[in-house]
Amino acid sequence: MIGIELEQVPSKVSVRNIWIKKLPAPSAASAPPAYDSIAGNWKLKPQLDSIEMGDPQMCTFVVKEQHLTGSCRSEDDSQDLTGEIHGKSVSWQLSGGRSGSTMFTGTINSDSSITGTYEVQQGTILGDFTFTARRVE
């Protein structure tokens, strides 16, 4: 930051002081994660009203800029995914499997944790759909 303190005298303006102050650089902790921070394999656990539903899905995320592609598979189904990342927010849609289309919206908590909600586009199940995802090494 640069500051200039002016001294106003009738019919003229003169400079009294000039100062330069170095501002601290933003910390890495406050920066949003890099787009490729979630690229890789994830175990996704769907929940309904806080109760785990069925087997977890294994998802593979491929990241190019803010675009997300990949697939998720369970024991008996596999679906393609497409989505986007905006800072710490991520959303993707699964399609092409037997279970219809599902939309996920989440928050990237760290490079190994994503939590959020999801909506099943087909079916009549009602309740609070949430998920947790953990990176698989």
Q: How would you write 52-121 as a 3-class SS string? A: ECCCCEEEEEEEECCEEEEEEECCCCEEEEEEEEECCEEEEEEEEECCEEEEEEEEEEECCEEEEEEEEC
Q: Which domains does the chain have, with CATH numbers?
A: 37-135 (2.40.160.90)
Q: Rounded to whole angstroms, how far apart are CA atoms 128 and 49? A: 5
Helix (H) or strand (E) holding 6: strand 2-9
**What pLDDT, on a 0 to 100 scale, did the predictor assign at position 6?**
57
pLDDT in tens, 33-76: 555 689 999 999 999 888 888 778 999 999 999 999 999 998 88
pTM over cut 0.85: no
**What pLDDT, on a 0 to 100 scale, did the predictor assign at position 13?**
55
**What pLDDT, on a 0 to 100 scale, did the predictor assign at position 126?**
61
Least confident of 21-30, 88-97, 125-134: 21-30
Q: Rounded to whole angstroms, how far apart are CA atoms 19 and 136? A: 52
pLDDT in tens, 67-107: 999 999 988 888 999 999 999 999 999 987 666 688 999 99
Q: Rounded to whole angstroms, how far apart are CA atoms 1 and 21? A: 5
**What pLDDT, on a 0 to 100 scale, did the predictor assign at position 63?**
94
**What pLDDT, on a 0 to 100 scale, did the predictor assign at position 86?**
94
